[in-house]
Amino acid sequence: MRSIDANGAQIPCLGVGTWTLSGPACTELVAHALSLGYRHVDTAVLYRNEAEVGAGIAASGLPRDDLFVTTKVWHTDLQRDAFRRSTEASLARLGLDRVDLLLIHWPNPAVPLAETIEALNAAREAGLTRHIGVSNFPTGLLAEARALSPAPLVANQVEHHPMLDQSRVLAACRAAGMAMISYCPLFRGSLFEEPAIANAARAHGKTPGQIVLRWHVQQPGVAAIPRTSRKERLAENLAIFDFTLDAAEMDAISALQSANRRLCDFAFSPQWDIP
């Protein structure tokens, strides 16, 4: 699988999202994904499944250095000491001595960003993570975080799909040598019925979901972490590297972003970029 070179990190362009997965089903799904060829696994403290994800990783039997594991610190634990405790607890649950990427899950204006970035760097310096980054950071906050961080930030994980214009964030990530990692990459609802996607699916003999994931990974610097609870969907999501969307197909799908429909917008969300 192709990886993105992001400020020294090699991030597989397609990963397994685990939001809402729990219990033995989560462990089995992670282990199965790794058996199929996935090497990028994404979790977070908020998901309350780090132990199950870790069990799936252990069950795979794969060498640790073959995997790229991400977890995230929740926005209520961004003070210096709380950040360290959260990270150490995540590693204990995962059964790992380090993760590959540690992210600030959401910014928190109640905690000075300088303190949080210092804590993020301290986790890296202590060997708790190989690389560091952020999540849900609009361009202004991303620029501030980069300026405060002695070590390079390698990724910004954000909601990204054909129904939301994230061009400003993507441009900022590219300019900084960072990856943009797409969560909710398949959107919901009627996306698959859009002619731009349905027509491409017919032309390539692929499912609409495969077309959308191909649209993600075909954009330079973009990775996607679709979540599924179905083992058969894992194989489908992975089968996107044997075809290419042409420029017209990419443009037609990208044109859908003018809808600007955001799925994840909460009371604690930052001020989003205006396209």
Residue that is written with structure tokens 């997965």 in the block:
21
Whether 183 sits among the annotated catalytic residues: the reply is no
By C-alpha distance, which of 38, 270, 30, 19 is closest to 156? 270
Is residue 181 within 8 A of residue 224, CB to CB? The reply is yes
Sign of the torsion formed by the C-alpha atoms of 160, 162, 168 and 173: positive
Q: Which of 9, 13, 47, 217 is catalytic?
A: 47
Q: How many helices (H) and strands (E) does the chain have?
A: 10, 10
Give CA–CA dist 151/59, Å, rounded.
33
Is residue 253 within 8 A of residue 34, CB to CB? The reply is no
Two structure tokens written together for 12: 């597989």
The SS3 call for residue 134 is: strand
Burial class (CB in 10 A: 0-12, 13-18, 19+), 188: exposed
Residues annotated as part of the active site: 47
